[in-house]
A and B are shown apart, each in its own frame.
Chain A
Amino acid sequence: MSKLYVFGIGGTGARVLKSLSFLLATGVKCNSTSVVPILIDPDAANSDVNQTVDILKLYESIRSKLTFNRETSNQFFKTDISPLNPDFRINIQDSKKKFKEFIDYQSLDKKNKSLVSLLFSEKNLNADLEEGFKGNPNMGSVVLNQFTTSKDFEVFASSFAQGDRIFIISSIFGGTGAAGFPLLLKNIRSASPTLNNHSHLQTAPIGAVSVLPYFGVKKDDESDIEKSTFISKTKAALRYYEHGVNDSVNSMYYLGDKLVKDYDNHEGGVEQKNDGHFVELAAALAVLDFANETDLSTNKIKEFGIENESQNLTFNDLGDKTKSDILKPLSKYYFFRSYLENALVENLNSDFAIRLDIKEQFLNEDFYQKLKKLNKHLWDWLNQMSTNQRGFAPFTLNPENDLFDNIKGLKPHKSIFGINGLKNYERITAGLNKTAKKMNTSESTEDRFMEVFFDTTEKLMAAKYKL
């Protein structure tokens, strides 16, 4: 029984948590009993955060209908994701205020006002906190500090048990993340004695990933955010981390990339919605690496590498461990999703569907509808990563040919006779038929559904690619 509390700070935190939930959906291994995502972002309307919350809720709802025990073989959605808060996010109090109201500028004496003016620009002071810190960690650090006295933090501390772990995701060059990470760290390590479990918190295993610049924003005079400042801010933050952060963190993960694509320049809100990027997936892998780490006796600092420096990554460009972690789960889920999208409806009269009692009615129910929605998000995510720079495009996403030719770099085994002579979705249907025959049909429809697809895609990987 060990939980993993994952704090995702700012936009990056949200996008990494999104990647993490997709990886968990595909069944990538995580040794934690459950993952507790906590999103921290004062920007209530941030599209990335809101989307991540949607996805986490979908995941939770889907998983609630599934059973995982000795008898079940399905590993899609195996890891439990449970919320601390109803919306998976921490409320930042008083976020509707302007910054200067937040720091109670008006009540400061003249000397302090001058100091404040030194530290903060006029724009800063008049900034609307709802929109986040727009790349100003100095503001962020002030606002986020009040987190430690919040109700949410008390709740977090109360639920924390011996053996639980904590992971913090943040970007080093941005606004919210850059400020929030060290603050959060400090508040956990120096938890007030009045808090429950404060001693556990002080000694808790903590991992963190700091994402270095991997994208830029287009030049926009109206916007406060400018990409030329990203690098300098990164340097400043790293200098601080060297002394103030690294000692408190058991496993520190650093990630970044050379290529820089410019996103449209939005300061926040609904419009701040970045395309999925491979770096976010790699950061999610850092979370999992920490969750699965067995030796926490010494502090470690880790970096992430790939095998081939390619503009458009495929599985073969990844390092062996990365490949072995994600190739099968992602591929299997790729087949799963493709079948659901393109073939399931036509095949409701197939042997497996009749045998497992998967009817049209099932497709209209809540479980399946939520699954479809999550799959759409996942598909968008794959699409975005494939067109991004650097791109991650392990699959040919709009195939005209055989589905099994679509994992780049993998050549499927084909034959003339027998089941492997079938092509495309027909081959999957045949596999489903075969798997269903051996299945115990006493489970719920949802369990049967997931199990038949999991087992079949598992066998497909073996039959087609010897994996």
Chain B
Amino acid sequence: MKDLIANFYELWGGGYLGGFSDQMFNNDLYFPVALYSIIVALAITIIYYYILDRPNTANMKVWMLALLIGAIINAVVAFVSANNDLVEIFASIGEEVPNSFSYDMLMFAFINAIWTLILMFVLSIILKWKSPNSSYIPF
């Protein structure tokens, strides 16, 4: 399970970011991000299709906006979570987080955002059927 989540974030080796990835993996920092991100994606999708659902939001523009919002939230979640956890871990040995990690955290946030978009797309397909007004969004 830990490996599976790591593979998603490291793109099966293609997105391996050296020390940063090792720290994330070894300290189990991927899991909370993945969990929160899945919850956020699920929540926003459900909100779009069932709570905020109305004829005026039942179009591609609003749907894409919802995905974008989810992606942005999850990018922030990824960045903040990774940053805070790493700062704490490094501080516990009296060291600072390496400067190169800033870029890595941005990449991580970006990758989380992309996965969010994909996940929300899949969730949309699964969840849209009973939506009162948006059951044909995105198609």
Q: In the complex, what residues of A have CB within 8 A of residue B56's CB? A: 426
- A434-B132 in contact (CB<8A): yes
- A347-B55 in contact (CB<8A): yes
Alpha-carbon gap, A434 to B54, bound state (A): 11
Interface residues on B, range: 10 to 19
B51 to chain A minimum Cβ distance, whole angstroms, is 9
- A350-B54 in contact (CB<8A): no
B136: contacting residue among A347, A355, A422, CB under 8 A: A355
Q: In the complex, what residues of B have CB within 8 A of residue A349's CB? A: 58-59, 136
Alpha-carbon gap, A355 to B137, bound state (A): 12
Binding site for A on B (CB under 8 A): 54-56, 58-59, 131-136
29 A-B pairs with C-beta separation under 8 A: A347-B55, A349-B58, A349-B59, A349-B136, A350-B55, A350-B58, A350-B133, A351-B55, A351-B131, A351-B134, A351-B136, A354-B136, A355-B135, A355-B136, A419-B132, A422-B54, A426-B54, A426-B55, A426-B56, A429-B55, A430-B54, A430-B55, A430-B132, A430-B133, A433-B55, A433-B132, A433-B133, A437-B132, A437-B135
Binding site for B on A (CB under 8 A): 347, 349-351, 354-355, 419, 422, 426, 429-430, 433-434, 437
Q: In the complex, what residues of A have CB within 8 A of residue B136's CB? A: 349, 351, 354-355
Alpha-carbon gap, A433 to B55, bound state (A): 8
Alpha-carbon gap, A351 to B131, bound state (A): 9
Alpha-carbon gap, A422 to B58, bound state (A): 14
Extra contacts, 4 of them, besides A349-B59, A350-B58 (Cβ < 8 A), are A351-B58, A354-B136, A429-B133, A437-B135
B2 to chain A minimum Cβ distance, whole angstroms, is 42
A350 to chain B minimum Cβ distance, whole angstroms, is 6
Alpha-carbon gap, A422 to B135, bound state (A): 18
Q: In the complex, what residues of A have CB within 8 A of residue B133's CB? A: 350-351, 429-430, 433
A357 to chain B minimum Cβ distance, whole angstroms, is 12
A422-B54, A426-B54 are contacts. A351–B59 as well, Cβ < 8 Å? Answer: no
Number of A-B pairs, beta carbon distance below 8 Å: 36
Alpha-carbon gap, A339 to B55, bound state (A): 14
Q: In the complex, what residues of A have CB within 8 A of residue B135's CB? A: 351, 355, 437
Q: In the complex, what residues of B have CB within 8 A of residue A351's CB? A: 55, 58, 131-136
Q: In the complex, what residues of B have CB within 8 A of residue A434's CB? A: 132
B61 to chain A minimum Cβ distance, whole angstroms, is 12
A30 to chain B minimum Cβ distance, whole angstroms, is 35
Q: In the complex, what residues of B have CB within 8 A of residue A430's CB? A: 54-55, 132-133
B132 to chain A minimum Cβ distance, whole angstroms, is 6
Alpha-carbon gap, A433 to B128, bound state (A): 14
Most chain A beta-carbon neighbours within 10 Å: one of B56, B132, B133, B134: B133
Closest 8 CB pairs between A and B?
A429-B55, A354-B136, A433-B133, A426-B55, A351-B133, A430-B55, A351-B135, A426-B56
Alpha-carbon gap, A351 to B49, bound state (A): 12
Alpha-carbon gap, A422 to B132, bound state (A): 13
Closest to B137 in A: A351
Alpha-carbon gap, A214 to B77, bound state (A): 76
Q: In the complex, what residues of B have CB within 8 A of residue A347's CB? A: 55
B53 to chain A minimum Cβ distance, whole angstroms, is 9
Closest to A421 in B: B54
Alpha-carbon gap, A354 to B59, bound state (A): 13
Alpha-carbon gap, A426 to B59, bound state (A): 13
Alpha-carbon gap, A354 to B56, bound state (A): 15
Closest to A347 in B: B55
Alpha-carbon gap, A127 to B58, bound state (A): 66
Alpha-carbon gap, A347 to B56, bound state (A): 10
Q: In the complex, what residues of B have CB within 8 A of residue A433's CB? A: 55, 132-133
Closest to B53 in A: A430
Q: In the complex, what residues of A have CB within 8 A of residue B131's CB? A: 351
A148 to chain B minimum Cβ distance, whole angstroms, is 59
Closest to A428 in B: B55
Most chain B beta-carbon neighbours within 10 Å: one of A349, A429, A433: A433
Q: In the complex, what residues of B have CB within 8 A of residue A422's CB? A: 54-55
Alpha-carbon gap, A385 to B135, bound state (A): 42
Alpha-carbon gap, A140 to B54, bound state (A): 62
